[in-house]
Structure 1
């Protein structure tokens, strides 16, 4: 009962501050051999849970692409600022209860940033996978989280904590969104050919396109064409 009430209290705080998504994943989910990313316990050895927080990205910034890439990028940064403030507030609340908490870099920030391994461009842990385990959505062919309400139009961050928080129970939904296998619009729209129809992703191509061809602006075309 303590876990449920504590999780719900944090959820309410996040939503009251503007979060559109809130979920919790037990770190044991990262023991699944199907997961190929970095383990959050490599950051916090005694972590017990990952809290995922997200905000929806306004459709207007996406519909204006590709001409409105500066506006789209600025909108994403505003989303990042919002969830960082929410995450900081939650982290402080968690530590007031006697537990530890640290904020994971914003989802999407790994490409070209100092947050990631410079060779693999992989972050310290996958927020998308944590969000999947928390029941917030599943993966699209574009390797983004596809949520029920907002599709891939979300910006996420996460908190690692040793607090005993309650995640979803029961079987998970399929890892890959079922509608993707008959769509592939994102694969066709990607100007960098960063991912393929068989699920392969080339992170370096995405990073080079954004930070060389676009000068640091975000692309967003795989999100724009997604019908979800």
Structure 2
């Protein structure tokens, strides 16, 4: 029996989500995807429900001033997403399906959720969001949405429920505008973002968790014109 996907999306929005999409879990088996696969955790997975909220402009525009306010606002987004995803997961299991929550991207636990060496998460939320047609990648390695650019926060629910899936809106990962812009490359305080598209996550991590004492940086989001 196929679940009512529209009803799940409406439930997410009712609980506070600003956007929601469903990715076909089979997309993680594409040869071009080199990250961890959700099938390794849930062999019978069919769908990945991606849920997101928009981060208010008021905490982004003053950066680098106001990093405590920026960080606290991000954590509030994390708390909101956890409640939304947990409610959806519980409802799916009440209907006889399996469901598990993916750690929220950029959560307050930071690298605890990821491999210590590679900083790679169990699954890529950004890739799931791209599969679900919610946006494309920026040069800053963040998901860029058409409505609010990278000023978002996401989580996902892994489930074996058969849902109607969405599809990528763009074939390419990286937004073409990034090549001529490169504002994020220039503003990064530790040079973690390169013009050729390579990214040094360890440099980003060390700056936030050592130099800033756990506060988030946010400068690549602050300068993004998208």
For Structure 1 versus Structure 2, the TM-score category normalised by the shorter chain is: over 0.9
**Aligned pair in 2 of structure 1 residues 154, 171: CA closer, same or farther (>3 Å)?**
closer
> CA–CA distance in 1 between the matches of 2:110 and 2:88?
28
Of 151, 161, 164, the residue aligned with 1:163 is: 161
Q: Work out whether residues 110 and 123 of structure 1, in 8 Å CA contact, stay in contact via their aligned partners in 2.
A: no
Runs of 5+ consecutive residues of structure 2 not aligned to the other structure: none
2:81 aligns with 83
Query: Cα offset for 1:109?
Result: 3.3
**Runs (5+) with no aligned partner, structure 1:** none
Give the alignment's TM-score, normalised by structure 1. 0.95
For residues 42-191 of structure 1, the aligned pairs below 5 Å read 42-109=40-107, 112-169=110-167, 172-191=170-189
Where 1:114 maps in the other structure, the secondary structure is helix
Q: CA deviation at 1:173?
A: 3.7
Within a 5 Å distance, the mapping from 1:188-199 to structure 2 comes to 188-199=186-197
Using a 3 Å threshold, how does the CA distance of structure 1 residues 19 and 87 change in structure 2: closer, same or farther? same
Kindly report structure 1 stretches of 4+ aligned residues shifted beyond 6 Å.
Answer: none
Q: CA deviation at 1:175?
A: 1.1
Counterpart Cα distance in 2 of 1:169 and 1:21? 15
Which residue, 20, 26, 36 being the options, matches 1:22? Answer: 20
Shift of 1:25: 0.5
- By how many angstroms is 1:169 displaced? 4.6
| 1:32-81 C-alpha deviation (Å, 9 max, x unpaired) | 12211110111212111110000000000000111100000000000000
Aligned-residue RMSD, C-alpha: 1.5
Deviations 1:66-99 (A, max 9, x none): 1100000000000000000000000011111110
Assess, with a 3 A threshold, how the Cα gap between structure 1 residues 75 and 88 changes in structure 2: closer, same or farther: same
Q: Which residue of 2 is the match for residue 224 of structure 1?
A: 222
| Separation (CA, whole Å) in 2 of partners of 1:160 and 1:64 | 36
Q: Which moved more, 1:115-124 or 1:103-112?
A: 103-112
CA distance in 2: counterparts of 1:173 and 1:71, whole angstroms? 36
Partners of 1:111 and 1:206 within 8 A in 2? no
SS of residue in 2 equivalent to 1:55: strand
The DSSP-based 3-state class of the residue aligned with 2:21 is strand
